[in-house]
Amino acid sequence: MQELRRIVGDAHVLVEDADVIVYEQDGSILQAMPEIVVLPADVTQVSEVIRAARRAGFPIVPRGSGTGLAGGAVPAGGGVVVSLARLNRLLGVDYRNRTAELEPGVINLEVTKGVAKAGFFYAPDPSSQAACSIGGNLANNSGGPHTLAYGVTTNHALGVEVVLHDGSIVWLGGTVPDVPGYDLCGVFVGSEGTLGIVTRAIVRLMRAREDVRTLLAIFDSMDSATQAVVDITAAGIVPAALEMMDKTTIEAVERGAPAGYPRDAEAVLLLEVEGVREYTERALRMAHEVCTRAGARQVRAARDEQERQALWKGRKGAFGALGTLAPNYYVMDGVVPRSKLPQTMRAVAEIAEQYQVRIANVFHAGDGNLHPNILFDIRVPGALDRVIEAGAAILRACVAVGGSLTGEHGIGLEKRDYMEWLFSKDDLEAMTRVRLAFDPQRAFNPGKIFPTPVSCGEVRRAPARIPEGLWI
Amino acid sequence: MSVASDQLIDRLTSELGTDSVITDRATLEAHAVDGLVPRAVCSPGDAAQVAAAIRVCGEAGAAIAPRGGGTAVALGNVPHRVDVVLRTDRLAALVEHDDANLTATMEAGMTLAHLQTHLAQRGQLLPLDPPRPDRATIGGIVAASTNGARRMFYGGVRDLVIGMKMVLPGGEQVKAGGKVVKNVAGYDMCKLFVGSLGTLGIITEVTCKMTPLPERALTIIARDGGSTAEGSGAFRLIDALFASTLQPSAIAVLSPRAGELVRAGGPGVATAVAVEGFTEAVDRHVRDITGMAAAAGLSAEVLEGPAHERLWAAVADFPRSREGEALVRLTVPPGAVATAVDALSRVDDSPVYVAHAGAGTIWIGVEAARAATVFAALTSVAGAQHGHAVLASAPPEVKRGLDVWGSPPPALSIMREIKQRFDPQQLLNPGRFVAFL
């Protein structure tokens, strides 16, 4: 402790319960109290903190903004939580080469805000982008609604500077792709803080598109809505975003933050295309036809930016509005091949019935990335357990059709015991080799990702306090 | 140490069958890697046989060189040893094309051309452009991470691969990723294997994202007629393109001599811009890019149909190894391609290069006799732009004196540790990868 204080200064080492309680939880329902929270200011301090923590035998739990939804930043085994919030400088922007160099604590949305005037944007846009950090995005390989056309975080990360378990500082990747050797930047992104701590990153910027068009299609059945998604993909349209909301979500939106969605509709589909004007006009026309053919009751295209914002308003307000239906909700993050969307949505509906839970679906349909939100009231005894069982059943259904446990939220603590549904012992053993090559003592974020027979006695469950204004 | 050849061959034969283990002189010599002739060439028929072959080699301490179509066999350092060449040619089936999901799963030995033929019937394609697609296999393209000019628009191999199956040096059959386009369950093991050049395991199956066949595709080719200094007109055009909101799918700058090689005709530096997509969007690009070319002092011509296809096939084919020649791959930030090309002309009087200007990759053909000198000079050129240079192909006698991958990467110790944990016996392509891993 004294050493940590010497490294970062008294003010940046927290140990009192009242101080560290803020760091006991992320956006998931899992909680565990950290022993110590440290807030280093630069890479040298991060390195020294890690050395000191390891000398004392403490595990290290890296933390960005704490918006993660799988318990990845929850210190399940105690130890030192290293917050990267103070490493928050945008170090440089190179428009000619379309890259930005930044520290991990930079907030995602700040990147695009910083480069928008010059006609650029940073593509990965997790719905928590107003609060989540680039370091957290790198750790979780975060996605977002617009990653359908542009790819997730790993497709935009060229290089990362990381601090390893022994405090050494090393670059993985670089300022250009194809750096000779194994693609360790690619391996590191999405490793959920189990391999080291990012202290600097070089990410790609994209040129803003000439035109954006948005349409909203209203369906009388979930089946025709999901069929429209399959048909849009098959027709060769690659939308920038393709989002879906079901009847329960529509009800919540119209109660909470009305967006003019018809309350009797079974599903609404929000589609956005970006590119040169000639492309967007044609793609929008085609999407309109596909939706109509699939049985859309009505298709509305935004005529201007104001109408576009109005169409998005419901989607962005959806998660917040769920509070009008139930005090708590549990966000799932399954993903399936897009061809299996219709049958998977039917399976989700059956699971809701079987487990007697209410589910609001709002998700990235174009990627096949489901977000079934299971609504509940934590004060009802046994409710949370039933919700977790229903969630597990949904993920099993995703895996059964060739899908995955998580599209963008990560495994963390929440789903580590489900990993064996997807991976064999040998598959996991191969991952472990990578883990140990970076971190032979499992100093970083122990108990995450990998299934573990030992249950963490210190982990508690409680609903997350998702800050105002965030959407998922 | 290793057991006698006879015993190794007997055991491979008993696992794979007589027809799948070949030991005649001509075949062995045709499968030499940098002049090292293997003792056996085997072609397992499925992943289980790949695992069996690896186990046999492991017990015998025999080094394996995995091989797809052999189009990237010149890439990498001269291996320490080559005992067995393990071909994937019998793993050539299309496992699944889920066209509504825009994904396909192929066995590793399927050639790209074969896959494209199938996909085209369903209105899709895999947007990768390696040399010799008639021979290049999916597994080989992934293992060597062979990227082409369309990377700027569609992404590279690492972006398009979403799942894989591989056999590890201990014979374990494992998988990575899956068939969903978004997946963060566990480590992204696909990234580890893309570009690992068969040094960690043998890839037996790959799942990739597909893309719809474009409604229309054509090329605007702009030439300076030899009137400007080395490529300056070309880079004025490219600057204008980058400043615009246009979205070409590929940009290639061809030096005069490369232009002859790829039959892009005409004197001087040529800039080829490929545009793909909906007809009206393509037409818009033609109008705008033709105007930009004129403003840059270039004459522009539109190539369509077979002429367009021939040009890009030749551009893709440019980085194939040629007898008596060496090939350097220079990677720099896209905005530094002009500077790098300019520096090239100081290294070589009349350089032969094809620059994928949108991706920042420049392929340079060099006479074998000058390869080591030119590679050293180009390494400095790349370094000055925070990029890197790789001697992608050269005769073994040139390669022996250097590390074709350039100076060791900063994270070499982790790479060494990974190699050690996956392949402690040094069975797979020993010595061929960075820093002779």
Domain, as residue range, for A230: 209-318
d(CA A256, CA A320): 8
State which of A144, A173, A207 marks the end of a domain. Answer: A207
d(CA A165, CA A438): 8
Nearest chain B Cα distance for residue A220, angstroms: 23
Query: Can you give the pLDDT at residue B1?
Result: 42
Contact between A358 and A409 under an 8 Å Cβ cutoff? The reply is no
Which residues 376-435 of A have a C-beta within 8 angstroms of B?
402-411, 415, 419, 422-424, 426-431, 433-435
Q: Between chains, do B278 and A177 touch, taking CB under 8 Å as contact?
A: no
Residues B133 and B64 in one domain: yes
Which residues 152-211 of A have a C-beta within 8 angstroms of B?
152, 154-155, 164, 170-172, 174-184, 186-187, 189-191, 207-210
Residues B117 and B201 in one domain: yes
For the domain that residue B35 is a member of, what is the CATH number? 3.30.465.10
Residues A131 and A228 in one domain: no
Question: Does residue A387 belong to any structural domain of this protein?
Answer: no
Question: Does residue A303 belong to any structural domain of this protein?
Answer: yes
CA distances to A466, B19, B73, B88, B109 from B26, in Å: 69, 16, 17, 19, 22
Residues A161 and A213 in one domain: no
Query: Can you give the pLDDT at residue A467?
Result: 47
Residues A198 and A227 in one domain: no
pLDDT in tens, B352-406: 999 999 999 999 999 999 999 999 999 999 999 999 999 999 999 999 989 999 9
Residues B364 and B257 in one domain: no
Nearest to A338 among B101, B159, B192 (CB): B101
Q: Chain A interface, mutation test: which of B95, B182, B388, most A Cβ atoms within 10 Å?
A: B182
Residue A304 amino acid letter: D
Which residues 283-302 of A have a C-beta within 8 angstroms of B?
283
Residues B131 and B267 in one domain: no
Residues B90 and B112 in one domain: yes
For the domain that residue A311 is a member of, what is the CATH number? 3.30.70.2190
The closest of A280, A287, A276, A294 to A235, measured between CA atoms, is: A287
What stretches of B296-399 show up as alpha helix (H) in DSSP?
A: 305-317, 337-347, 371-384, 396-399
Averaged pLDDT, B323-343: 94
Residuewise pLDDT in 10s, chain A (472 residues): 899 999 999 999 999 999 999 999 998 888 999 999 999 999 999 999 999 999 999 999 999 999 999 999 999 888 999 999 999 999 999 999 999 999 999 999 999 999 999 999 999 999 899 999 999 999 999 998 888 999 999 999 999 999 999 999 999 999 999 999 999 999 999 999 999 999 999 999 999 999 999 999 999 999 999 999 989 987 888 899 999 999 999 999 999 888 889 999 999 999 999 999 999 999 999 999 999 999 999 999 999 999 999 889 888 888 889 999 999 999 999 999 999 999 999 999 999 999 999 999 998 999 999 999 999 999 999 999 999 999 999 999 999 999 999 999 999 999 999 999 999 999 999 999 999 999 999 999 999 999 986 555 567 777 665 444 445 5
For the domain that residue A100 is a member of, what is the CATH number? 3.30.465.10
d(CA A221, CA A267): 7
Helices (H) and strands (E) in chain B, counts: 16, 19
Residue A262 half-sphere exposure toward CB, CA atoms < 13 A: 17
Nearest-Cα residue of chain A relative to residue B330 = A178
Residues B164 and B274 in one domain: no
d(CA B272, CA B20): 44
Residue A357's Cβ-count burial label (10 Å; 0-12, 13-18, 19+) is buried
Which residues 21-40 of A have a C-beta within 8 angstroms of B?
none
Question: What is the residue-averaged pLDDT of chain B?
Answer: 95
State which of A265, A295, A318 marks the end of a domain. Answer: A318
Q: Chain A interface, mutation test: which of B122, B187, B190, most A Cβ atoms within 10 Å?
A: B187
Q: Between chains, do A208 and B245 touch, taking CB under 8 Å as contact?
A: yes
- How far does Cα B415 stand from its chain's mean position? 21
Nearest to B411 among A172, A209, A275 (CB): A172
Residues A168 and A270 in one domain: no
Grouping H, G, I as helix, E, B as strand and the rest as coil, residue A447 is: coil
Residues B204 and B220 in one domain: no
Q: Between chains, do B195 and A281 touch, taking CB under 8 Å as contact?
A: no
Residues B101 and B224 in one domain: no
Residues A166 and A240 in one domain: no
Residues B37 and B118 in one domain: yes
Residue A111 half-sphere exposure toward CB, CA atoms < 13 A: 37
Question: Does residue A438 belong to any structural domain of this protein?
Answer: no
Domain, as residue range, for B357: 325-399
Q: Between chains, do A276 and B158 touch, taking CB under 8 Å as contact?
A: no
Question: Does residue A43 belong to any structural domain of this protein?
Answer: no
Query: Can you give the pLDDT at residue B259?
Result: 82
Residues B209 and B221 in one domain: no
B125 beta partners: B211
DSSP B270-326: EEEEEEEESHHHHHHHHHHHHHHHHHTT-EEEEEEHHHHHHHHHHHHHTTS--TTEE
Contact between B189 and B178 under an 8 Å Cβ cutoff? The reply is no
Question: Does residue A115 belong to any structural domain of this protein?
Answer: yes
Q: Chain B interface, mutation test: which of A170, A176, A195, A341, most B Cβ atoms within 10 Å?
A: A176
Residues B31 and B169 in one domain: yes
Averaged pLDDT, B427-432: 98
Q: Which residues of A touch B284 (CB under 8 A)?
A: 276-278
d(CA B319, CA A298): 52
Q: Judge if ipTM > 0.90.
A: yes
User: Would an 8 Å CB–CB cutoff place B403 in contact with chain A?
Assistant: no
Q: Provide the domain count of chain A.
A: 2
Nearest to A403 among B180, B247, B277 (CB): B180
pLDDT in tens, B240-252: 999 999 999 999 9
d(CA A196, CA A161): 10
d(CA A407, CA A394): 14
Query: Can you give the pLDDT at residue A176?
Result: 97
d(CA A351, CA A308): 34
Question: Does residue A202 belong to any structural domain of this protein?
Answer: yes
For the domain that residue B379 is a member of, what is the CATH number? 3.30.70.2740
Residue with the larger pLDDT of the pair B73 and B3: B73
DSSP A129-154: TTT-BHHHHHHHT---TTHHHH--GG
Residues A246 and A289 in one domain: yes
d(CA B20, CA B399): 32
Grouping H, G, I as helix, E, B as strand and the rest as coil, residue A412 is: coil
State which of A183, A207, A231 marks the end of a domain. Answer: A207
Residues B42 and B186 in one domain: yes
Question: Does residue A433 belong to any structural domain of this protein?
Answer: no
Helical axes B337-347 vs B232-243, angle rounded to 10°: 170
Residues A232 and A176 in one domain: no
Q: Provide the domain count of chain B.
A: 3
Residue A389 amino acid letter: E
Contact between B191 and A154 under an 8 Å Cβ cutoff? The reply is yes
Nearest-Cα residue of chain B relative to residue A422 = B185
Contact between B353 and B255 under an 8 Å Cβ cutoff? The reply is yes
User: Would an 8 Å CB–CB cutoff place B405 in contact with chain A?
Assistant: yes
Q: Between chains, do A191 and B187 touch, taking CB under 8 Å as contact?
A: yes
